[in-house]
């Protein structure tokens, strides 16, 4: 079994606030295994199997109010784990995940394009941008 780990990109402007709520570089990562995706974002976690991945899409830049910290969209219940406003990757799911049934998850990893390429290689039916 192979694991690929992607770190979050931390914008220095928000590092103190994020650290206060337990979100630090050492507590945040996206891990892609042969059969699943696991995301750690400080005390928050998300996971699903690769077969549940419906699509991936690069997005951003974002406004800080919509992207920094853990966020849930009021419009569609999409989840954001954000540490930067520059760019991120939106993962869309076939079946919503978590107790609030999130249809998607946006992560602001340091290398969103590399994560997208890795996910498309592992789950080719998920489509790209």
Residue 3 has what pLDDT?
85
* Residue pair 30/107 in contact by the 8 Å Cβ criterion: yes
User: pLDDT-based confidence at 125, cuts 50/70/90?
Assistant: confident
Render pLDDT for 67-77 as a digit per residue (tens, 0 to 9): 999 999 999 99
Average pLDDT, the chain: 94
> DSSP secondary-structure letter at 8?
B
Cβ within 8 Å of residue 12, ≥6 positions away:
none
Q: Is the pLDDT of residue 1 over 80?
A: no
Query: Residue ranges of the domains in the chain?
Result: 4-122
β-sheet with 4-6: strand ranges across: 4-6, 28-32, 36-41, 44-49
How distant is the alpha carbon of residue 123 from its chain centre? Answer: 16
Q: Is the pTM of this model over 0.85?
A: yes
> DSSP secondary-structure letter at 34?
S
């Amino acid at each position: 079994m192979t694991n690929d780990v992607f770190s979050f990109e931390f914008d220095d402007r928000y590092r103190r606030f994020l650290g206060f709520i337990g979100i630090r570089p050492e507590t945040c990562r996206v891990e892609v295994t042969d059969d699943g995706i696991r995301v750690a974002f400080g005390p928050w976690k998300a996971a699903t199997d690769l077969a549940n991945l419906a699509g991936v899409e690069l997005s951003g830049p974002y406004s800080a109010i919509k992207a920094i910290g853990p966020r849930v969209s009021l419009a569609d219940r999409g989840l954001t784990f954000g540490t930067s406003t520059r760019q991120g990757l939106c993962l869309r799911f076939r079946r919503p995940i978590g107790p609030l049934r999130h249809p998607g998850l946006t992560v602001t990893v340091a290398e969103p394009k590399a994560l997208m390429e890795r996910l498309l290689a592992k789950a080719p039916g998920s489509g790209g941008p």
